[in-house]
Chains A and B, each alone.
Chain A
Amino acid sequence: MSIFQFLLVMIVPAMISVYAWNFAIWLWRSGNRLGGVGGFLLTLVSGGGSLGYFVFKLLI
């Protein structure tokens, strides 16, 4: 597999992870600590999970 194929598959999950991470940071900075924790957790599960899944699918 070429590096470009890898980047092509990764770009959407990576962008959505950045979006979710920024949302969590916004919640945290606006004083909503519980919401911030929820946001980080969602980033971890959705972003981390999907990036891990795609890496696994590409490498196997």
Chain B
Amino acid sequence: MAISARGEKVKRRMRTDSGVKMSEVSGRNTGGGIRTGHAGVAEWTVLLTIYMATDVFLSYPSRVAQEAAEAAWMVPLISGAIAALAYVAIHWMMKGHPTESLLDIVERALTPVGSIVVGLIGFAYFVLQTALVMREFTETVVATVLPETPAAVVTILFLMIVMYYAYKGLEGMTRVAILISAFLVIGFGLLLILPLTWFHSYLLTPILGKGLGAVALNGLTNTSMFAGVFILAVMRSSVRNQRHTLRIGLISTLASALIMSVVLLLFVGTFAVAVTGKVPFPMYQLARLIYVGRFVQRVESLYVFIWTAAAIMKMGLGLWIAAYLYARAFHMPTMRPLILPMGMMLFVLSFLPPDFTTVIQLSGELLERFGWAVTIALPVIALLVATIVASIRRRAHGEGEKDDPKDDHGFTERGGAGAQ
């Protein structure tokens, strides 16, 4: 009897360690039958902050500095504030459904077709974004530290680590993020402090750059950088302590906005607006400027480790959430088998643009300009429509269902939960 009980305990623990069956142990389903496991508040906050703030290593600072000139540092703050407000609205609309995700609520109100549409739009966005980020990081590595290596080799190496990272599941990803976060914070802090000798505050004037209108417009369109809002709305049920989901959304959004703002402030204050468009890898250039005596110089080689770690976490979460959305949209019982084909899809998509210039153009003119429609507007509108439909149904069905204490939005029947 004791041996049997111990064997069962070990079996349950092994399932937990694999990172997939955690919710089976805890007895809570995390959306559409897919077992994703759970992550704590700190883990989720760190992973989402890294996911959103990693764009500072790419061409994002250069693009924003070109668009908003000296006031570029205000753009992420405005975008972050809008994204945070959107998350507050999402949180408010999902408040009555603590164990359900965005897709569960949409499916219940708008039939499974609604969740398939929302899931596939999200999947397409994250696949495209991850593919472009992968190509951008590959080109950056090839142009800066490995000029003799073919781009395909760098991408394949990146992809292998990214697929392994995504394969470890939500719990693995969040744990790695929180373990590495200390090194990232220290390294990133040093990277921002050490080149301060080149910083000139007069380069930040006129303070409003190209004007308040340009800054506000850029702030509005750049909300696409805060895709964490969408991810958290989809993965809300996987947060271990449901009371703190609002805290995760707000802290991760505002922290990443602050990081982006500080980077832009230093970037414009160091290089001046006139040349920002000609600096394709701003953080790398900042790292190259570091010269603290004879023995502390050329530290960009250390910076590459920080940059690669952050890139892998960003691409890993991008691939994982794309696989999750696809599996959830089609009611698949598991998502792991999708990671390999999707990794191959990422490889092909990342090499479709002929050169680095096209990649930057696509990132700036497609994803940054219209990405907010998926990352911010889609969850808000989908939840709003779901709430209105539920309200209409509640009125149509009379007072009986209104008294359900578990559901203040009027959802009373669980439909189309899919593969369970």
Contact = CB atoms under 8 A, between A and B. Distances in A.
Interface of A: 12-13, 16-17, 19-20, 23, 27, 32, 34-35, 37-39, 42-43, 45-47, 49-50, 53
Given A20-B340, A23-B337, A32-B419, A38 B332 contact: yes
Nearest to A57: B351
Chain B interface main SS type:
helix
Contacts of B329: 38
Contacts of A35: 330-333, 419
B332 A39 contact: yes
Contacts of B327: 38
A20 B341 contact: yes
B345 interface: yes
Given A13-B344, A35-B419, A42 B331 contact: no
Contacts of B331: 32, 34-35, 38
A13 B347 CA distance: 11
B415 to A, nearest CB: 14
Given A34-B418, A38-B332, A53 B348 contact: yes
Chain A interface main SS type:
helix
A50 B345 contact: yes
Interface string B323-361: 000110111110001101110110110011000000000
B163 to A, nearest CB: 11
Given A32-B419, A35-B419, A42-B326, A50 B332 contact: no
A42 B341 contact: yes
24 contacts: A16-B340, A20-B337, A20-B340, A20-B341, A27-B332, A32-B331, A32-B333, A32-B419, A34-B112, A34-B331, A35-B332, A35-B333, A37-B330, A38-B326, A38-B330, A39-B332, A45-B345, A46-B342, A46-B345, A46-B348, A49-B345, A49-B348, A50-B345, A50-B348
Most buried by B among A12, A20, A38: A38
Contacts of B112: 34
A47 B341 contact: yes
Interface in B374-420: 418-419
A16 B347 CA distance: 13
Nearest to B419: A32
Contacts of A27: 332
B158 to A, nearest CB: 16
A19 B337 contact: yes
Contacts of B347: 50
B330 A43 contact: no
A37 B330 CA distance: 8
Interface string B316-328: 0000000000110
Interface in B284-308: none
B124 to A, nearest CB: 11
Contacts of B337: 19-20, 23
